[in-house]
Amino acid sequence: MPSLTEVKHYLKACTDRDHLWMSRPLAVASLLVILVLVKSCQGISFLNSREYKIHQLGYPLNEAHTLSLALSDQQVDSLIALQYYDSLACSIVSQQYFIQDHFTRYIAYHKTDTAGTSPTDIVAIVNVNGDNDWEKTAVKCDTTRGYLILVNKYHYLDSTYKRGDMVKFQTTCSYPGNEAARDVVDAFYKMQEDCKKQTQAQLMVNTSYRSFDYQTEVFKIHDKSIVATPGHSEHQTGLSLDITSIEHPEKWSFEKSTEGKWMREHCHEYGFILRYPAGKEHITGYGYEPWHLRYVGVKTASRILSEGITFDEYYAYYIEQTN
């Protein structure tokens, strides 16, 4: 069936001097017949389209169009099978970090949500597996990721895991016994040096690497709601640091100090991120920890900061989805 553009070209050709055998009235009549046929076929095609099937569920045509473009045939079928209109479906598929394979989980989460969670947070929560019970669905970490290894409630390390490039911190910048991956130690030295030049205060490493066994002892004596289960602690990676300063050794006084504020503003320049930021507890699974840094490299740290996301979200969207 010809398109409307082709029909216009046909009419022009019919009325050119080289086609005077066809009168203008006949050409116009032919055009009208063709237009009716085109429109009829287009109508039949629309009635059989994914867009129309979605529209029949109650979605406005503009939303049905957006959904039909964003979803696969299988996901459209799944949406149709739900047989109800979801008011956030169109907003969900329009989110920056929307992952097509998670669509039915986004909708299922919204259907049972009683807290009025926004589309942005629904996408984030599902992407990091927060719609599942971590104790039943946790998987082993992919330790081939180097500095981008993810350890959280849904990803755990073997009890024997320890990096092979660990070095001790100098006692002038750390409490005794702390160690971390070599690049982490070097990056901290540089950050400490620059912080001292600009604030006259000295950053200190309070805690760095913790073995599985050490974390087990910590877990026994602390509040289970704020301490990671053994195997699920980032400290076991050798990439995380709890920071304080000589001038402000207490955690919360350090947060409000000049050097504490400087660290949070500049740590990405040295490859660190604030691993558990305020307002992201529903994503990370842990409360705000302004002293807890995680090394991911300068490029990744800068991107995480600029996009305002957590490492969990970054990993789900930029690492898992690239495989």
- The region that residue 144 occupies, defined by phi over 0 for left and psi between -120 and 50 for alpha, beta otherwise, is alpha
Identify whether the C-beta of residue 300 lies closer than 8 Å to the C-beta of residue 314: yes
Helix (H) / strand (E) element for 66: namely helix 61-70
Please name which of 262, 266, 252, 260 lies closest in space to residue 302, comparing C-alpha atoms: 266
CB-count burial class (<10 Å; 0-12, 13-18, 19+) for 256 = exposed
Please say if 320 is a catalytic residue: no
Distance separating the N- and C-terminal Cα atoms of the chain = 41
Residues β-bridged to residue 243: 205
d(CA 210, CA 50): 53
Catalytic member of 247, 269, 289, 307: 289
Identify whether the C-beta of residue 123 lies closer than 8 Å to the C-beta of residue 110: no
Active site residues: 289
